[in-house]
Amino acid sequence: MDREKEKQDPVHFAAAVKEAPASGKAKKKTASHLEKEKSEMGNKKSEKKDKTILKLYKKALKTRENAYVPFSKFKVGAAVLTSSGEIYTGCNIENSSFGLTVCAERVAIFKAAAAGVRPGEMKMLLVAADTEDVTSPCGACRQVIAEFGIPEIVMANVSGDMKKVTLEELLPFGFKASDFT
């Protein structure tokens, strides 16, 4: 399968999953390692989580194609999973007044909020772009992620590399709504 076709088929091309264990040192996992672990352990919860991440990944990549990026040409896609299992997606939308540009992560989160999903009801966010390394949310997006209390963030690229981090790793000492009380 050539590289362009592989990019279009993320199930077969999600070649590496990087996870950040408690030690803080990233541990790379490939799709074959995940399959081996699944067959050895038979862990249904782990299998479900891996399938969920792949589903978010595919939806983020698909939505990424709708990005409006006439200036940077840098397309980003995001997908948010709610506690009820719904998925909301977003892409980045640029504006000639650059400060008005909105990132994919915030579009996905705001779509969920507009549908009635409240802080604490979003379980996971995945963001993906065409970068060499995984795509990391900007500072503004990190603050919005903290506001809505999304505990797990998966950063990815279109090549299938992924790194999962917690909200605390992404934004240590973040300012949250609970800080008002």
Q: What average pLDDT score do residues 103-109 get?
A: 99
pTM of the model: 0.75
Rounded CA separation 99/44 (Å): 44
Evaluate whether residue 116 is within a structural domain. Answer: yes
Evaluate whether residue 181 is within a structural domain. Answer: no
Q: What average pLDDT score do residues 91-110 get?
A: 98
Q: Which of 136, 120, 119, 140 is nearest to 128 (CA)?
A: 136
| Given the residues 65, 105, 132, 152, the one annotated as active site | 105
Q: What average pLDDT score do residues 151-179 get?
A: 92
Q: Which of 1, 163, 168, 154 is nearest to 81 (CA)?
A: 154
Evaluate whether residue 174 is within a structural domain. Answer: no
Evaluate whether residue 22 is within a structural domain. Answer: yes
In tens, the pLDDT along 27-73 reads: 444 344 444 544 444 455 667 779 999 999 999 999 999 999 999 99
Give how far Cα 20 sits from Cα of 1, 24, 123, 170, 180, Å. Answer: 30, 6, 18, 11, 30
- Count each helix (H run) and each strand (E run) in the chain, helices first: 7, 7
Evaluate whether residue 178 is within a structural domain. Answer: no
Evaluate whether residue 104 is within a structural domain. Answer: yes
Give how far Cα 50 sits from Cα of 12, 37, 92, 105, 174, Å. Answer: 13, 11, 25, 20, 28
With the CA atoms of 153, 154, 157 and 159 taken in that order, what torsion angle do they form, in degrees rounded to the nearest 10? Answer: 180
CA torsion sign, 161 to 61 to 137 to 53? negative
Evaluate whether residue 55 is within a structural domain. Answer: yes
CATH for 25 = 3.40.140.10
- State how far Cα 49 lies from the chain centre: 13
Query: What residue numbers bound the domain in which 70 lies?
Result: 3-168
- The total domain count for the chain is 1
Evaluate whether residue 71 is within a structural domain. Answer: yes
105 included as an active-site residue: yes
